[in-house]
Amino acid sequence: MGNKLVNLYIKKMKKSILTLALFLIVVYVLGQTTPKSQKEKEQAQMEQMMIQAMKQEGMSQTEIDEALKEYRAMQPLIDEMKDSGVKVSSYETNLSIPAKQTKLMSGLPILTKASTPQYIANLSKEANAKIASQIKTQADKIWAENNQDKNTSMLLFLKGELKSAVYISLKTAEKYPDDDFVLNNLAFVLAQTGYPQKALPIQQQLYNQYQNDITANNLGQSFLALGDVENAKKYFTFGLAVNSQHFEMNCAMGLIEAEKGDPIKAQVYVKKALQKGYSPTAEALAKKTKLKLSYNDINKPEVPEYFNAYKLKPVAATEDWLAVEQVLAEREALTELHRQWYQKREEATAHAFTQDLSKIYKEHMGIVQGPFAKKALFMLKLIGEDQMEKLSTKKMLLPYYEKEAELRKAFDSKIDNMYQNKSYDNVAEDCKTKVQFLKEYLSASKQNHDAAERSLLPKYYDWINQTLYWFAFLQSGDAYQATYVGYVHDFIDSMRTFDDFQNLYPTPEYIFVHCKDYEQDLQKIKAAELVEDSPNCPVNFKFKTALADLKFNCKGYEVEGGELAKLSFEKDTKTGEFQIAFGLGVDADAGFLAFGAKGMMYMRFGSDFTPVDMGGLVEAGVEAQVGTFNVEEKLKGTMGIGSVNVEAIHHGEEIKIFSADATKDTRDDAAAIKPLGK
């Protein structure tokens, strides 16, 4: 047991709080009352055991010497605790069935309701003769203080005052001879204090009356304690037919089958016992019969939720390529949280290492005195084995790692091969292809990431919740805090593992940084191409009416009306853009020639009626018209929101003279005159 504790604590806490591990070993020696020579021999053996364990953990000789120095310095404290009456639970188990006690079982009466009071009176007389008067006096006082409560005997039994428990059990039964609950308590106390033969008649009478799993178990346990295996098995078989999951009866049947030399049958009973409950005997039987018991075989208790999906969880994967930066920021925040808990762990460990040894002992009392200590150590062992099996062999993680590797390889291959049989006219087109590949990767990897969360997270939460729950039975105060902080740190690190199932570095991050504006760039390129591809329209068709003039060409059409006050509507039939303008203008005709000038306010809209630009325009020029055929030469200037443009129209071709856009701080390289200062 000592060696296991050394390894448990050295592995969990490592070298920084080695004192705690060593001290716990000392505590296990406290209960021994051996001669001085034997004690010295055992102490030397203990030191050798610890030295071996520390060497296995890679500790230097200096560290080992320091640990032994601290261990030896504890001896005065050990003596002090011994003097104060500290006792240690030994958790001893007895896997042998005693020889059949035929003599003790001979002549036992068969009780009825009528004969039970006399039987109790006889037992009481016998006990009174054997129990010291001072014990009876003190027990009577306690019973009186409890108002002769029916449960007083059980309280005394739990306190370890066994003779007082027997004495008060008999007095209670004499007072309440018809109360079956009191009779059951009496039989229990008698059986547990070494008098199963005295308990048998009462238990038999209760069994005959109720014939349920409780009375069958009580009767069978007494027969087993007296070595009567046949009768014990008879009542256990009946009780298990009523309640197949009964812990004590399954454990007893496992012991019987193991004793008979049938480990296979024994394993069936022991497994059922440990699934529902725990005892050192059941654990020892599992070891004796070589029962392979896993964490998943145990019916685990409901425990507090230290962590769940709402309190702490992995960073979610994304299928939106524009969210890559946000996801990376969230991952960085989780990394920072992990760093903070690492610092807390270091501080908690350092603090625990500096504590007074007496305080350390008190904070680890659960290991040696807690009623659930053995069960807690058993559960922690199973949890550790479960984690070791599933994580060290990557049984849980491997399918998701393999899927991610497959997806990433396909994504990288597409990026690497995208230039082999194709060239791209510009960076925006290059980005468009890369973004498409990235979207496909993100969508597939998110599915893999989400599947991993659904499969793995419940297990992670279960492990840490169960671990912290069972450690609470072993430690308290700063010791438990150090354990808690350490496991939280490790748990956060587990949450970061999920980042591996959607790898965003370096290529996805690079694409996001360099291509996030590619759609706007494509729109600009398309708009420029439309301007470049815009056809020349040297000849217009113009019709004059009394209300307005209608002019159209290969680009679109224009309707303008008014003499001095002008109103016009223009539309580009290729792009769908249209413009509404109003203002002042003058016209003069000289034969087939017409001269004109105008100043107007305009509003331009896209094909979907969204506003594009607004501002003022001026225009001056000359037109020649023969019939409906019209040719124009003019100069046109516009001042829109943040932009100024001047262009000439010659034989239908638009020639840019000046162009500036203050919102973009760019120049138009195609303009004949560049903006000043650019």
CA distance 521 to 68: 72
Classify residue 477 as left (phi > 0), alpha (psi -120 to 50) or beta. Answer: left
Quick one: 507 and 632 in the same domain?
no
> According to the per-residue pLDDT averaged within each range, which of 163-167, 393-397, 624-628 is highest?
163-167
> 559 forms bridges with which residues in the sheet?
550, 569
Q: What is the largest CA-CA distance in the chain?
A: 150
The 3-state DSSP class for residue 632 equals strand
545-572: burial string, b at 16+ Cβ within 10 Å, e else:
eeebbebbbebbbbbbebeeebebebbb
225 shares a domain with 172:
yes
Q: Are residues 540 and 505 in the same domain?
A: no
Would 27 be classed as within a structural domain?
yes
Query: How far is CA 455 from each of CA 285, 294, 396, 458, 459, rounded to the nearest angstrom?
Result: 34, 19, 8, 7, 8
- Domain boundary pick from 491, 518, 545: 518
CATH number for the domain harbouring residue 135: 1.25.40.10
Residue 573 lies in a domain: yes
What's the average model confidence in pLDDT over 346-354?
A: 78
Number of structural domains found in the chain: 4
Does residue 639 share a domain with residue 585? Answer: yes
What is the CB-side half-sphere exposure of residue 662 using CA atoms within 13 A? 7
Cis amide leading into 506 (omega within 30): yes
Residues 541 and 606 in one domain: yes
pLDDT for 12-63, tens place per residue?
A: 333 333 344 444 434 443 434 445 566 666 667 667 766 776 676 567 788 7
**Residue 599, beta-bridge partner list:** 584, 618
In this structure, the answer to whether residues 453 and 492 fall within a common structural domain is yes
3-state secondary structure of 478: helix
- Percent of the chain exceeding pLDDT 70 equals 81
Q: What is the mean pLDDT of residues 483-499?
A: 92
Domain-located, residue 311: no
In this predicted structure, what is the pLDDT of residue 91? 43
Same domain, 272 and 344: no
What spatial distance separates the first Cα and last Cα of the chain, rounded to whole Å? 85
- CB count within 10 Å of CB 139 equals 22
State which of 490, 518, 546 marks the end of a domain: 518
Is there a single domain that holds both residue 284 and residue 325? no
Within this chain, do residues 506 and 653 fall inside the same structural domain, yes or no?
no
Q: Which residue has the higher pLDDT, 628 or 96?
A: 96
Are 6 and 58 within one domain? yes
pLDDT at residue number 353: 65
Across the chain, mean pLDDT equals 82
Residue with tokens 């020892």: 284
| Residue 289 and residue 363 share a domain | no
Q: Is the pLDDT of residue 677 over 60?
A: no
Residue 384 lies in a domain: yes
Q: Tell me: do 47 and 175 sit in the same domain.
A: no
> Which one-letter amino acid corresponds to residue 53?
A
pLDDT above 50 for 672: no
Q: Which domain holds residue 512?
A: 321-518
| 94, amino acid identity | N
Residue 226 located in a structural domain: yes
| Residue 509 covered by a domain | yes
pTM of the shown model: 0.64
Which tens digit of pLDDT belongs to each residue from 594-607?
788 888 999 988 88
